[in-house]
Structure formats: structure tokens, C-alpha cells
């Protein structure tokens, strides 16, 4: 089967790394993610990853608890650095070359984000991990995924969640909720569908960069997507 997507931007939420635990990184879940990435890497797909930090810190939650919001956001970005290091390490453990780059300067730990270098790594078949989100407070890693996806010329942003797509309502609360197989950006934005933040949606829409929301818990979903099969929900122009 021919590959449909040659270069992708994979957005992994920090929460997805927790598995069934309440905080931090679940080793088994991380290894399962790495196995999924390994499958598409073996097909020759160029993979860039933006990883969240919600399993450790979220600026908004810290802000709500009384902390200065920007400070909380910097802590959140540092959380994504930890997750990126864990993912880089886990990929290397299975023999996949991976390079993490940070949007915040933290040079003893990670090299800084340099676009031409990232592009070269991708061409060389290395998995590139973008750490520290956009490097700015008041943004999210979803927006970082849209931004980096556009910068590296990814064909699609693949947003891995625990749910297998975008639903008309929260499927956990509403038994009549149905899954969209595709939806336009305008509809997703106007319906206020809480899968991705509006900044990320708007950026992808303007750059004509489609997004596919899919379940990371479903084995093999990532591979099926890059082979062009219908998985989850496609958000399109």
C-alpha cells in the first residue's frame, strides 16, 4: 500500500503519556507510543512530534490556584521538555534516531529549535521532537503543533487523543453523541468543539494544513492513517 502522508506532525498530549496513572509518565504507555511511531518510521514516513506537558503541569491550573499565569506556563513548557527527553530516550532505546529541540534555551539539556536543522534531521530519517511548545506563555502545545507543522511543511497534523475522533457531544456524557468522520475548520470553530484550541485551528485553517484527530489507545491507528485509511476525524478546509 503506498504511503499517503510522507511527512507528518504528530501531537501527543502529556495526558496520553500517563496511561491509567494519575501523574507523570507511564513507561508501558510510552513504549506503546514508541512502537506506533516505529511502525510508521519503518515505512519511511518523516515524523516530527510535539509533546504536551499536561501530565505534569498546566499553566492554567496553576494560574487558577493563585500562581502568576506566565510563571505557571513556563513551568508547563518545562514539563514538555521532560516529556520530550523521555520520548527521545525511549525512541533511541529501540534504535530509532531521535533529536529533540527546545523552543526555550536550555542548551545543556537540549539543542535549541533551529528550523533548517530540524528539516535536515527529517530528511535524514531522524524523528524530531519539538519541546517547550512555542516558547511563549499563554499558548498551548496544540498551537505549537500547528506552528511547527506549518514550518516544516508537514502534510497533516495528527492529534493523538484518548477518544477516537471528534464527537457531536462528549461521548462520556451523551450516549447519543456521534463521531464526525470529517468536519470543516469553520464548523469546528463555530461549534466550539473542544478538541483543539481556537488558535491552533485558525493557524491550520489559514495554512491549509489538515488535522486528523485519532485514538492513541487503538493499536495500529497511526499506521492506518499514514496508509490513507479512514481513522478518527479529519478537520479540513
Return residues touching ligand UDP (CB under 6 A). Answer: 13-15, 52-54, 58-60, 72-73, 76-77, 79-80, 133-134, 136-137, 139-144
Q: Is 116 annotated as a binding residue?
A: no
> Any residues with CB less than 8 A from the CB of 198 and at least 6 apart, and which?
189
Query: Of 133 and 165, which has the nearer Cβ to ligand UDP?
Result: 133
Measured distance CA(151)–CA(198) in Å, rounded: 19
Give the nearest distance from C-beta 59 to ligand UDP in angstroms.
3
Query: Of 88 and 143, which has the nearer Cβ to ligand UDP?
Result: 143
Q: Please give the backbone phi and psi of residue 130, each rounded to the nearest 5 degrees, phi first.
A: -95, 115
| Strands laid side by side in the 7-12 sheet | 111-112, 98-102, 127-131, 46-51, 7-12, 156-161, 211-215, 233-236, 182-184
Instruction: Measure Cα distances from 229 to 4, 80, 210, 214, 224 in Å.
Output: 9, 30, 15, 12, 5
The angle that helices 69-93 and 27-42 make with each other, rounded to 10 degrees, is 60
Q: Is 137 annotated as a binding residue?
A: yes
Query: Of 46 and 142, which has the nearer Cβ to ligand UDP?
Result: 142
Which residue has its beta carbon closest to ligand UDP?
52
Query: Of 45 and 146, which has the nearer Cβ to ligand UDP?
Result: 146
Q: How many residues does the chain have?
A: 237
Give the nearest distance from C-beta 233 to ligand UDP in angstroms.
18
Q: Is 230 annotated as a binding residue?
A: no
Q: Is 192 annotated as a binding residue?
A: no
Q: Is 133 annotated as a binding residue?
A: no
Give the nearest distance from C-beta 67 to ligand UDP in angstroms.
11
Give the nearest distance from C-beta 103 to ligand UDP in angstroms.
7
Place of cell 473542544: 194
Q: Is 228 annotated as a binding residue?
A: no
Give the nearest distance from C-beta 45 to ligand UDP in angstroms.
22
Query: Of 3 and 194, which has the nearer Cβ to ligand UDP?
Result: 194
Query: What sign has the CA pseudo-torsion 97, 34, 60, 189?
Result: positive
Annotated binding site for UMP: 53, 73, 134-141
Annotated binding site: 11-14, 53-54, 58, 73, 134-141, 161, 167, 170
Amino acid at each position: 500500500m503506498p504511503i499517503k502522508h510522507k511527512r507528518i506532525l504528530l501531537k501527543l498530549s502529556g495526558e496520553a503519556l500517563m496511561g491509567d496513572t494519575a501523574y507523570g509518565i507511564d513507561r508501558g504507555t510510552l513504549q506503546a507510543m514508541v512502537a506506533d511511531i516505529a511502525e510508521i518510521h519503518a515505512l519511511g514516513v518523516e515524523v516530527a512530534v510535539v509533546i504536551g506537558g499536561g501530565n505534569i503541569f498546566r499553566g492554567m491550573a496553576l494560574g487558577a490556584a493563585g500562581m502568576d499565569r506566565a510563571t505557571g506556563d513556563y513551568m508547563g513548557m518545562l514539563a514538555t521538555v521532560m516529556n520530550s527527553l523521555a520520548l527521545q530516550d525511549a525512541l533511541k532505546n529501540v534504535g530509532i534516531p531521535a533529536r529533540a529541540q527546545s523552543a526555550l534555551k536550555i542548551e545543556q539539556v537540549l539543542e535549541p529549535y533551529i528550523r533548517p536543522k530540524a528539516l535536515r534531521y527529517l530528511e535524514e530519517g531522524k524523528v524530531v521532537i519539538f519541546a517547550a511548545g512555542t516558547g511563549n506563555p499563554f499558548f498551548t502545545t496544540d498551537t505549537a503543533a500547528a506552528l511547527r507543522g506549518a514550518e516544516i511543511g508537514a502534510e497533516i497534523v495528527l492529534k493523538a487523543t484518548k477518544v477516537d475522533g471528534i464527537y457531536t457531544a462528549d461521548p462520556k456524557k451523551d450516549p447519543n453523541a456521534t463521531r464526525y468522520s470529517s468536519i470543516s475548520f469553520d464548523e469546528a470553530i463555530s461549534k466550539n468543539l473542544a478538541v483543539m484550541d481556537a488558535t491552533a485551528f485558525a493557524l491550520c485553517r489559514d495554512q491549509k494544513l489538515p488535522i486528523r484527530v485519532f485514538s492513541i489507545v487503538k493499536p495500529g491507528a497511526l499506521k492506518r492513517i499514514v496508509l490513507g485509511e479512514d481513522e478518527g476525524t479529519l478537520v479540513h478546509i
